[in-house]
Structure 1
Amino acid sequence: MNIIASLLTAQRWPLLAALASALILGGAYFFQYVLGYDPCALCYDQRHIHKAAIGVGLIGGLAMMFVPALRAYAIWVCLALAAIFLYSAGFAFWHAGIEYDWWDGPASCTAAGPVNISTDDLLAVLDGGGPVVLCDAAAWTFLGISMAGYNALMSAGLAGISAYVGMAKR
């Protein structure tokens, strides 16, 4: 337990959080480029949120590592990460809800909405430019949970850890 407690300090957590987001993002790229699961528009948006977490975690963590005076701001870096991960969890939960037909998604990327595609986009798809992936169909599930659902769970866990580490008196 002491090893985990020593790793979960406000000065170290931003780098660990960046690593966690990088692993989540790496998993998404693995599913896309190795396993062949093409992402939808909302999946791309979720990736951008994790890129933001990586940026905040790396910049904050490295700044505190090389400029010790900045360690006084560690709580704010952790709370910023908590906010990013909370947003990621909410966005991923919204996307999972669209996949499970709990609510309607944006008309631009669901089967129920009107198709608004240009002739150039249609020709690009027909020429092998990639498939049109709808946001309301889960490409992959495990134990009944889609990739967006797993992203929501992981992001919620990271938000909780970030908030805990930021607020803990260490």
Structure 2
Amino acid sequence: MMFPAAHRWPLFAALASALILGGAYFFQYVLHYAPCALCYDQRHIHQAVIGAGLVTGVVMHFAPGTRRFGWIACLLVGGIFAWSAGFAGWHAGIEYGWWEGPATCTNTGSTEVSMSDLNALLSGGGDPIVLCDEAAWTLFGISMAGYNALMSAGLALLSGLIAWRRA
């Protein structure tokens, strides 16, 4: 099996996260699926992959002497992808009812809403209330969080394999 060079993988990882993030924005702004609080947190993790991948990839591109540490950069982005897979898997489990989520964004939560917030929501001026325990979209029974978990786990595994082969 052909693997990309370890010093190039962080840039590919940043591109992969950018595509995943682009998909999330497509669902939000084109298909009008409003994200929940945990969805936003998942986006921040992919932003971390983009940042780490770009910084380490650019450094290794312009400073060839650092390429021998490419396996460490692969472990870094792989660790962030693993964090993403775990977090997205936790969120998917909340959506499927396997465990309870945070009280602030689930049906079981008791959040306080002010009268002005309620009036703004009823008049159409407020943001919609999006619960973390209700999947906004599914395909083949898998939610967006579930797909994020699967893609992130695959990318974490690939990052680890590249690091292991190049270490």
TM-score where L is the length of structure 1: 0.92
Matched residues in 2 for 1:125 and 1:9: separation?
51
Partner of 1:85: 81
1:101 corresponds to 2:97: yes
Structure 1 residue 69, shift from structure 2 partner? 1.4
Partner of 1:154: 151
Partner of 1:70: 66
Given that 2:21 and 2:46 are in contact with CA atoms closer than 8 Å, whether structure 1 keeps it comes out as yes
Matched residues in 2 for 1:58 and 1:122: separation?
43
Structure 1 residue 153, shift from structure 2 partner? 0.0
Given that 2:14 and 2:50 are in contact with CA atoms closer than 8 Å, whether structure 1 keeps it comes out as yes
Partner of 1:41: 37
Q: AA paired with 1:41?
A: A
Unaligned regions of 5+ residues in structure 1, if any?
none
Cα deviations by residue, 1:92-145 (Å, 9 ceiling, x for unpaired): 000000000000000000011112234454344344232010000000000000
Matches within 5 A, 1:16-35: 16-35=12-31
Q: Against the structure 1 CA distance between its residues 72 and 129, is the aligned structure 2 distance closer, same or farther, given a 3 Å change threshold?
A: same
Given that 1:108 and 1:116 are in contact with CA atoms closer than 8 Å, whether structure 2 keeps it comes out as no
Matched residues in 2 for 1:157 and 1:145: separation?
16
1:166 corresponds to 2:163: yes
The alignment partner of 1:122 has SS state of helix
Unaligned regions of 5+ residues in structure 2, if any?
none
Matched residues in 1 for 2:41 and 2:68: separation?
32
Given that 2:107 and 2:133 are in contact with CA atoms closer than 8 Å, whether structure 1 keeps it comes out as yes
Q: AA paired with 1:23?
A: L
Identity within the alignment, %: 63
Of residues 7, 13, 38, the one that matches 1:11 is 7
Paired residues, number = 166
Partner of 1:138: 135
